[in-house]
Amino acid sequence: MQADLIKLENLNKLRIVTYPDPILSRVAEPVREITPEIKGLAERMADLMADSEGIGLAAPQVGVSLRVIVVSVTGKRQDVEVYINPELSNFLGSSEMEEGCLSIPGVRAKVRRSASCTMKALDINGNELVIDVVNLMATVFQHETDHLNGILFIERLNTISRMACRRGIKQLEQDYKNS
């Protein structure tokens, strides 16, 4: 049951989890109902993302396997938008941008993704949204939706980029093992 995954009294305990935590490799469950717990989760995620100077965060990154993302391409807390059960379609073109991830600190690399796409989702009030996005927004939506599908940006790297990031990834694996 969805309510079992998060409890209002535990929201302040949520933290950003780091690679290679197993939750980052799981496919997240759809949100069946927008409850006070879901709204509280979105608020906590927005705070964590803004405090960490991120522009996107998915619920699995805070240890909750639900299909919720928060996005603010300005990085400002007041600009955060919440998207529930996002689905992407209409992928067009190709773009390569440098990406990082709050769950993979210290690792950045260029990733090739679609230059534009359409996102269908619910907002925090349950209203259906359909948004056509390009460039940075398209990249952010693809990156965060990948998190909901258990995919990390480092899995999308070409061989040369993967080799360049190898040291940082190995360090994160070692730190996780020692924690």
Give the active site residues.
144
Q: Taking Cα atoms as reference points, which of 84, 28, 77, 21 lies closest to residue 52?
A: 77
Neighbours of 106 (CB within 10 A): 13
Q: How far apart are CA 96 and CA 141, in angstroms?
A: 14
Q: Taking Cα atoms as reference points, which of 166, 147, 157, 167 lies closest to residue 109?
A: 157
Q: Is 63 exposed, middle or buried (0-12, 13-18, 19+ CB in 10 A)?
A: middle
